[in-house]
């Protein structure tokens, strides 16, 4: 079993068990006090009750012990998450608005779908291309932030073949809720076939051409090599249509 999963689950079971015990205990005591010290059973309030040093020590020490025990279990899981096996395979994870980008050891890449071999320790190098993201795989009980300009690390062991959810656990913008992915764990043989397969279909970048290979340079369709004449002007000098050469009709011949 994945050691991280086991430790995290044990921590949650321990905390839930303590919470249930406290809930039942406090509820039982509350119900007892409601009936034992009701006005019907005690028409005249008892004024003899005073403070108790022993009781105050108990309700201070017992919660402290419980909280330290919770911390101990949580810290054991945290240590295991940071104890990355030295022979683990490496996958680079980059969070982008709004999808996950993965790069494998042989430089093969994939988006959204993370392919991993069964029974392997996997080390993740986590980065972000824009804003803060959080790489979260619930089935493996791991979550780590992806921060711009910084590389974080986490790992887990791929125990069983299957498909597991990937989520972004930190609000990263408009389409944060759509930043989902899948971990696809397959037998090692099937993984090696996939990771070493050269993609036969490539989508050409519409902004790039093969001009670097052929040595030709395409001209921008919006530009031409010739200077166009301004259609509003003509080479010859024409009279301004606003001006006329006729004499002012207001003027008349002198007698």
Q: Are 106 and 195 in contact (CB under 8 A)?
A: yes
User: Domain coordinates of the chain in residue numbers?
Assistant: 3-43+52-82, 89-195
CATH code of domain 89-195: 2.60.40.420
How many CB atoms within 10 Å of residue 181?
A: 22
Q: Which CATH number is 3-43+52-82's, of 1.10.287.90, 1.25.40.10, 3.40.605.10, 1.10.3720.10? A: 1.10.287.90
pLDDT digits (tens, 9 = 90+) for 111-154: 999 999 999 999 999 999 999 999 999 999 999 999 999 999 99
Instruction: Quote the tokens at residue 225.
Output: 């090599």
pLDDT digits (tens, 9 = 90+) for 73-118: 889 888 899 899 999 999 999 999 999 999 999 999 999 999 999 9
Of all residues in the chain, the percent with pLDDT exceeding 70 is: 77
- Structure confidence at residue 1 (pLDDT): 64
CA angle 95, 100, 104 (to 5 degrees): 100
The label of the residue with tokens 């071999």 reads 117
CA distances from 9 to 75, 123, 155, 166 (A): 13, 21, 17, 19
pLDDT band at 3 (very low <50, low <70, confident <90, very high): confident
Q: Which residue has the higher pLDDT, 220 or 18?
A: 18
Q: Do domains 3-43+52-82 and 89-195 have the same CATH topology?
A: no
How many CB atoms within 10 Å of residue 2?
A: 19
Q: Please name which of 111, 109, 95 lies closest in space to residue 149, comparing C-alpha atoms.
A: 95
């Amino acid at each position: 079993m994945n050691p991280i999963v086991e430790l995290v689950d044990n921590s949650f079971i321990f905390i839930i068990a303590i919470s249930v015990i406290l809930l039942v205990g406090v509820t039982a005591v509350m119900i007892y006090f409601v009936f034992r010290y009701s006005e019907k059973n005690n028409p005249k309030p008892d004024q003899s009750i005073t403070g108790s040093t022993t009781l105050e020590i108990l309700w201070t020490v017992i919660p402290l012990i419980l909280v330290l025990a919770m911390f101990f279990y949580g810290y054991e899981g945290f240590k295991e998450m940071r104890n990355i096996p030295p022979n683990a395979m490496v996958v680079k994870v980059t969070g982008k608005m709004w999808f996950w980008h993965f790069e494998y050891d042989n430089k093969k890449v994939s988006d959204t779908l993370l392919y991993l071999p069964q029974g392997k320790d996997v080390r993740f190098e986590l980065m972000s291309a824009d804003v803060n993201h959080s790489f979260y795989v619930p089935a493996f009980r791991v979550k780590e932030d992806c921060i711009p300009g910084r590389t974080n690390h986490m790992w887990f062991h791929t125990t069983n073949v299957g498909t597991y959810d990937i989520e972004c656990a930190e609000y990263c913008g408009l389409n944060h809720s759509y930043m989902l992915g899948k971990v696809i764990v397959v037998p090692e043989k099937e993984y090696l076939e996939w990771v070493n397969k050269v993609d036969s279909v490539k989508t050409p970048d519409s902004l790039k051409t093969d001009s670097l290979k052929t040595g030709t340079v395409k001209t921008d369709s919006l530009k031409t090599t010739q200077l166009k004449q301004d259609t509003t002007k003509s080479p010859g000098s024409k009279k301004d249509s606003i001006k006329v050469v006729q004499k002012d009709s207001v003027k008349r011949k002198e007698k």
